[in-house]
Structure formats: C-alpha cells, structure tokens
Amino acid sequence: MEKDKSFLGTESVGKLLLQLALPTVAAQLINMLYNIVDRIYIGHIPGEGALALTGVGVCMPLIMVVSAFAALVGNGGAPRASIFMGKNDTSKAEQTLGNCFAMQVIISLILTVILFLGNRSLLLAFGASANTIDYAVGYMNIYAVGTIFVQLTLGMNNFITAQGFAKTGMLSVLIGAISNIILDPVFIFGFHMGVRGAALATVISQAFSCIWVLSFLFGKKTFLKLRKSTMKLKADIILPCMALGSSLFVMQLSESVISVCYNSSLLKYGGDVAVGAMTILTSVMQFAMLPLQGLGQGAQPIISYNYGARNKKRVRSTFKLLVKTSVSYSVILWLIIMIFPQLFAGMFTSDSTLLAFTKTALRIYMAVVFIFGIQIACQMTFISLGRAKDSIIVAIVRKFILVIPLIYILPNIFRADRTNAVYMAEPVADILAVTFTAILFFFEFRKALAEISGSRKL
C-alpha cells in the first residue's frame, strides 16, 4: 500500500485538509463542469437553444432524484466506513462498503424502470410546456438507461475519498468530465442529435467513470476492498448508513421538489423565459454548492477518523479550519456574482431576452450566498460525526419548512413583481436556515465533543 491509514490521525490538520480538500474541491469543480456543460452546449444550439435549454432544465428534478439516492447510500456509508477505520475495525468497514454497493445496484434498477416508463407524465407535472416537452422527453429517455452508471459512480466514489485517496476520487470525476466535454459537441452538433446527443454523451462518460471507480475498489491499492462475501445485505449494516445519508438524501431530493415548485410557479407568472432563467440560476448555484461540498468531503475523513479514534482536539481544529475556508470561498464567489452577473448568464445562453432577464434574477436568487459556507460546513460536519438526526433536521428546515412555503407566499406579498418574488424565496430562506443551523450546531457539536471520550455505539 502507498500509505498507512493512520496518517489521518497523525499528520497536521492544515496539511491534511489541503492534501485532501484540493482534490475533492477540484473533483467537485470538474463535476460542476460535467453537470453544466450539457446546458452550455444545448443553450447555444442555433435557432432552438433557449427552448431546448428550458426543456433540459425541466429534467433536472428527475436527475436530482438519481443523485439523491446515490447520496442516501454512498454519503451515508462512507463516513461510517471512516469511523470504523479509526476504530481499527476493517471487517465492519468492508461490510459497509459491500452492503452499500449491493443496495445501490438494487436502487439503480428500480429507478431505471420508473424513469424510462413514466418520464413524460412526470415532466409535464414538473413544469414542461407544449413547447418544451419533446426536448425534455428526448433527453430523459436516453439518460434513464445510464442510471446505474450515475448511481455507482457518485455513490461508490465517496468510499475512495473517505479512505484518504482524494486524488483517485478526483480522477474518477475527471475521466467522466473530459469524456463528456469531448463527446457533447460530437453528438449534439456533429451527429445532429440535439438534446438526445447530450444525454448519450453523459451516459457514456458516466460509464467510463464507473469502470474506473469499481476497478479501484476491486483492486490492490485500496484499504477497503469490494468483496462478494460482504455484499449480502444486513440490516444492522445498511440501515445505519441510510439513516446517516438521509440528510443529504433529503437535501438533494428536496432540490428536486423545490425545482418542481419553482418551475410551476415561474411558468405561471413568467412563462418559458422565467423557467429557462431558473435553469441557469440552479446551474450557477452549483458554483457555490459543489466546491463547498468538496471542502466538506475533504474534511470528512479527518473528522470521522479522529472521531472514531476519540481525538477531540483534532476534530475541533478540523472543523474550525473547514468553516473559515468555506466562508472565505462563499464571500468571494458572492462578490463576483453581484458585480458580474452577465458573465455567468452569458455562459448558458446567447438569447438576448433570456440573458437580460437572467442578469436581474441572478442577483436576487444569490443575494446572500456569502453566508452559505456556514450552512454547508455545519451540515457536512454533522454527517462526518455520524449524527444523522441533526443533519436531517437542518436539511428539512431549510428546504421544506422555509423554501417551499416561501415560493408561494412571497408572490402574494410582492404582487407588483411576482416573478422576481418567486426567486426571492431562496435568499430569505437562507438567512433563516443559516441562523437556525448555527445555533443547533453550537450546542450539538459541544455535546459530541463531550461524549467523545465515552463509549459510543456507532
């Protein structure tokens, strides 16, 4: 092996976070490019780019569902595997890996059938109009076939990063991203396949990433190895993983629900242009979300391992460094978006009407993103500590208790400009959510540190 797993408990926290977070942030930035490159190419299809972009945007709720199930299993299992590694319980760590793999295969097959057979009805319910439904169905019919590749790549790559192999995890994403960037223009423009070409490029690219991830986990360099003997599902192994992953599941699934709420409200008040702008806004939000999640994923093996090893000092210092870094990034990004909104909007469309509309909407939607680093740092730390209940609470509060009601309440308060009032739901919810999360974290983190020296059932 290239290194001893105990390096997570011995090297300096600053050096470790830099060593682990740089590849995970890079992976998330690449993942961001992976996610938005389809929309960039689609938005510039001559003559039909704006409608095609809106149609693919309507597919996002279904795509988020696939990602949410990957998070349910992979993001819940990986921190538990790290904790078991910290306790020197390799057997339990490998059982966790094997059970999560088996569960993801099962979920993938179920999702494939549902997405392939029912996507037209779902897309119409999610905000597709007569003008955009054919684009949306064309994209989803092909994307559904590759569900298993998306699931296994997203879910199992967490186990690579959780062992401290951050560069390998980054390469998993890089392989898919480069493939997608190369294949997109070939299929979209070269073979004149339009949105169907974008979907095919995504499926093939994710297949390449999936092969890389599984080759590593079945190979010799990994600390935790995928074995057939560990794939038989056991309730005491898989259920705690899914409980811990349920917060990110709720967070990502709620993004799907929220996307439906946004699309239906915006279609009502602003038409296809407003829905198209929302596609761009959610894409730009990934510039905030994914790098912040990458920082959290870089910190996760350090926090989880040292929590399992009962090293209170290293857990505390890692969190402090994580929150400082996360807030610094979110403030810098907020400044750039507020000063140059046209830069981000212009990435996705050359349509003058959509471009002008999006510039204003972007400043409203991202108005308080500078505080978002606190939210993500606290939530990722809850997950790293195995505190499923707390991470679920903060996810539910932000999405279901705050954002969704505000989407419908604010347009009835600001009747003069109902479309922009819908976009305003995001910043208002963020202010309230970050306040709640910070208060809860203050008390629960102290409790976790106080309990760290005692026996604890994981």
Specify the pLDDT at position 214: 96
> What pLDDT is recorded for position 377?
94
pTM over 0.85: no
Quote the tokens at residue 341.
């909104």
Q: How many domains does the chain have?
A: 1
In a domain, 77, yes or no: yes
The pLDDT, as a whole number, for residue 199 is: 92
Which structure tokens are listed for 166?
């951050």
Residue 177's pLDDT is what? 86
* Predicted pLDDT of residue 453: 66
Q: How many CB atoms are located within 10 Å of the residue 11 CB?
A: 12
Looking at residue 2, its pLDDT comes to 45
For residue 4, being part of any structural domain is answered with no
What is the residue-level pLDDT of the chain in tens, covering all 458 positions? 345 556 777 787 888 888 888 877 776 777 677 667 777 888 888 878 878 888 887 888 888 888 889 989 998 999 899 889 888 999 999 999 999 999 999 999 999 999 888 888 888 887 777 888 999 999 999 999 999 998 999 899 989 988 888 889 888 888 988 898 899 999 999 998 989 999 999 999 999 999 999 999 999 999 999 999 999 999 999 999 998 888 778 777 777 788 889 988 998 999 889 988 998 898 888 888 888 988 988 898 889 888 888 889 899 999 999 999 999 999 999 999 999 998 888 888 878 888 889 999 999 999 999 999 999 999 989 988 988 788 888 888 988 899 999 999 999 999 989 999 999 999 999 999 999 999 999 999 999 898 876 544 44
Asked if residue 205 belongs to a domain, the reply is yes
- Nearest CA to 326 out of 174, 243, 437, 426 is that of 437
Instruction: Please tell me the distance from the alpha carbon of residue 127 to that of residue 135, in angstroms, as a whole number.
Output: 13
Look up residue 309 and give its two tokens.
């090893």
- Report the candidate in 185, 210, 248 with the shortest Cα–Cα distance to residue 108: 210
In one-letter notation, the amino acid at residue 167 is K
Provide the domain limits for residue 150.
12-451
Amino acid making up residue 179: S
Give residue 455's pLDDT.
Answer: 47
For residues 69 and 282, what is the distance between their CA atoms, to the nearest angstrom? 20
Task: Provide the sign of the torsion angle of the four alpha carbons 101, 103, 108, 113, taken in this order.
Answer: positive
Number of Cβ within 10 Å of residue 54's Cβ equals 31
Assess if residue 201 is contained within a domain: yes
Asked if the structure places residue 247 within a domain, the reply is yes
Give the Cβ contact number of residue 450 at 10 Å: 10
Residues 246, 252: Cα–Cα separation, whole Å: 10
215 within some domain: yes
Rounded Cα distance, 152 and 305, in Å: 24
Q: What is the pLDDT of residue 454?
A: 56
Of 242, 223, 69, residue with least CA distance to 159: 223
- pLDDT, position 1: 38
Is 6 among the domain residues? no
349 contacts 50 by C-beta, under 8 angstroms: yes
Q: Give me the pLDDT at residue 289, please.
A: 84
Non-local CB neighbours of 220 within 8 Å, separated by 6+ positions: none
R_g (Cα) of the chain, nearest Å? 21
Per the domain annotation, does 2 fall within a domain?
no
